[in-house]
Structure 1
Amino acid sequence: MRLEMMIAEDVELRLVTETDPVMMAELGGPRPPEAIERAHTKSVAMAAEGRCWPLKVMLDGSSSAVGWVGVFESSHEGEEIVEIGWMVLPEFQNRGIASQAVRSVLEKARRERKFGRIHAFPAVKNAASTKVCEKNGFANLGACDLDFAGRTLHCHHWWIDLS
Structure 2
Amino acid sequence: MRLELTPWAEEDLGLLRRINVPEMKGHLGGPESEDKIVDRHRRYVHMSVTGTGVMFRVALLPEHTPVGSIGYWDREWHGSTVWETGWSILNEFQGRGIASEAARRVIALAAADGRRRWLHAFPKIENVASNAVCRNAGFTMVGETDFEFPVGTPIRCNEWKLDLKTVGQ
> Would you call these one fold, judging by a TM-score over 0.5?
yes
Give the deviation of 1:161 after TM superposition.
1.0
Structure 2 match to 1:155: 157
Structure 2 match to 1:55: 56
State the aligned residue count.
Answer: 162
Structure 2 match to 1:71: 72
Specify the code of the residue in structure 1 equivalent to 2:15.
L
1:70-102 deviations in whole A, cap 9, x for unaligned?
111223456533210001000100000000000
| Distance in 2 of aligned mates of 1:92 and 1:114 | 32
Q: Mark the runs of 5 or more structure 1 residues left unpaired by the alignment.
A: none
Identity across aligned pairs (percent)? 35
Give the secondary-structure state (helix, strand or coil) at the position aligned to 2:103.
helix
Give the deviation of 1:34 after TM superposition.
1.0
Task: Answer with 37-46 or 133-142: which moved more.
Answer: 37-46
Structure 2 match to 1:135: 136
| Distance in 2 of aligned mates of 1:113 and 1:36 | 30
TM-score, with structure 2 as normaliser: 0.88
Give the secondary-structure state (helix, strand or coil) at the position aligned to 1:22.
helix
Give the deviation of 1:144 after TM superposition.
1.1
TM-score, with structure 1 as normaliser: 0.91
Q: Mark the runs of 5 or more structure 2 residues left unpaired by the alignment.
A: none
Q: 1:115 to 1:11 in 2, by over 3 A?
A: farther
Specify the code of the residue in structure 2 equivalent to 1:13.
L
| Distance in 2 of aligned mates of 1:70 and 1:14 | 13
Give matches, 1:8-157, under 5 Å. 8-17=10-19, 19-77=20-78, 79-149=80-150, 150-157=152-159
CA contact (8 A) 2:47 2:55 kept: no
Give the secondary-structure state (helix, strand or coil) at the position aligned to 1:83.
strand
The runs of 4+ residues in structure 1 deviating greater than 6 Å are none
Specify the code of the residue in structure 1 equivalent to 2:24.
M
1:49-84 deviations in whole A, cap 9, x for unaligned?
333111011111123310110111223456533210
| Distance in 1 of aligned mates of 2:111 and 2:82 | 17
| Distance in 2 of aligned mates of 1:74 and 1:111 | 18
Specify the code of the residue in structure 2 equivalent to 1:66.
V
| Distance in 2 of aligned mates of 1:127 and 1:81 | 24
Q: 1:115 to 1:13 in 2, by over 3 A?
A: farther
| Distance in 1 of aligned mates of 2:65 and 2:155 | 31
